[in-house]
Amino acid sequence: AFDVLIIGGGPAGAAAAVYAARKGIRTGVAAERFGGQVNDTLGIENYISVLETDGPKFAAALEAHTRAYDVDIMNLQRAEALIPATEPGGLIEVKLANGGSLRSKSVILSTGARWRNVNVPGEAEYKNKGVAYCPHCDGPLFKGKRVSVIGGGNSGVEAAIDLAGVVQHVTLVEFADQLKADAVLVSKLKSLPNVTIHTNAQTTEITGADGKVNGMKFKDRASGQEHLVPLEGVFVQIGLVPNTDWLKGTVELSRFGEIEIDAKGHTNVPGVFAAGDCTTVPYKQIVIAAGAGATAALSAFDHLIRSGVT
């Protein structure tokens, strides 16, 4: 059995593995795809001390750092169920999709999240070529350009306010007949001179040429009329979905499906910790996920020494 078994091999899982292995305890990582979301990222410019890198390079560095220690990496393994220990200090079991199962004295859940797609023509084609999901990450790439934000909830309206300070013009498109964000955000948004808001508007296509975005189309749901907005970037802000379906009923989740954790990364299940985008941690970023992974590993180690199992 492992001392610490980490499920998920993104920045949170890799950081947890390095921190756990450095304690000299038996550490394993099972991940569907080692590297996680950074595999799908083009430029990364906000991981402090790394001026600029790209996703695949960052993912390779995560794996190399983890492999420098005695960590059992089980890549391409999907976890399907978590079975808590039946007695204090007992083993926790994780069932895998391949039919196997792993046992450990402590478990760190770091299965990340995925951005919800709008699923219109052009979205997949121009991902990272004008279609973006993270204003903190990619906002500066559109300095002085025109962008749209799809989604008028809190994250969409926050993104539009944030982007309005960086880009030339922001068009916000919301499907419902009004913005769902908090009133204070909506009034801030409406006060900005370089923002146009369309409600009751259905995004129908992201258009492009020469391999990059050049516009988006939306339909006015009242009149049925279609509009084309010329622009260089589209930020999709219709939700971040945590990869926690498999934990429903075992670990306490928020109403958004995020694993509820405290400041030390404890979940409600003894010996089970969590870190990164799959949790209630505020702000979903690489540097934050990595820090949370370190926290969870140190808490798992603390749990092991206090329960006398290591």
Structure tokens at 299: 């808490």
Select 13 or 215, whichever has its Cβ closest to ligand FAD.
Answer: 13
Query: Locate tokens 């009133």: which residue?
Result: 183
Segment lying near ligand FAD (by CB under 6 A), choices 100-108, 253-261, 264-272, 285-293:
285-293
Q: Which of 243, 267, 295, 299 binds ligand FAD (CB under 6 A)?
A: 243
Check the annotation: does 240 bind a ligand: no
Q: Closest separation between CB of residue 101 and ligand FAD, Å?
A: 13
| Integer Cα distance of 307 and 270 in angstroms | 11
Cβ neighbours of residue 229 under 8 Å, at least 6 residues apart?
A: 146, 148, 171, 215, 216, 217, 218
- Work out the burial of residue 51: count CB atoms within 10 Å of its CB; fewer than 13 is exposed, 13-18 middle, 19 or more buried: exposed
- By DSSP bridging, strand 226-230 and strand 212-220 are antiparallel
Give the residue carrying structure tokens 């292995």: 21
Largest interatomic CA distance in the chain: 69
Task: For ligand FAD, give the closer residue by CB, 59 or 201.
Answer: 59
Residues 138, 144, 146, CA angle at the centre, nearest 5°?
75
Q: Kindly state whether residue 134 participates in binding ligand FAD, applying the rule CB under 6 A.
A: yes
Mark residues 18-57: x for contact with ligand FAD by CB under 6 A, - for none.
------------xxxxx-xxx-xx--x-x-----------
15 is in an annotated binding site: yes
Q: Is 59 annotated as a binding residue?
A: no
Q: Three-state DSSP class for 179?
A: coil
One of 79, 161, 206, 272 touching ligand FAD (CB under 6 A): 79
Q: Which is nearer to ligand FAD, 5 or 179 (CB)?
A: 5
Q: How many residues bind ligand FAD (CB under 6 A)?
A: 38
Q: Is 156 annotated as a binding residue?
A: yes
Q: How many CB atoms lie within 10 A of CB 176?
A: 12
- On whether 149 is known to bind a ligand per the annotation, the reply is yes
Lay out the site mask for ligand FAD across 252-281 (x = CB under 6 A, - = otherwise): ------------------------xx----
Q: Is 56 annotated as a binding residue?
A: no
CB 220 within 8 A of CB 173: no
Residues at the contact surface with ligand FAD, assessed by CB under 6 A = 7-13, 30-34, 36-38, 40-41, 44, 46, 78-79, 110-113, 115, 133-134, 137, 243, 246, 276-277, 284-287, 289
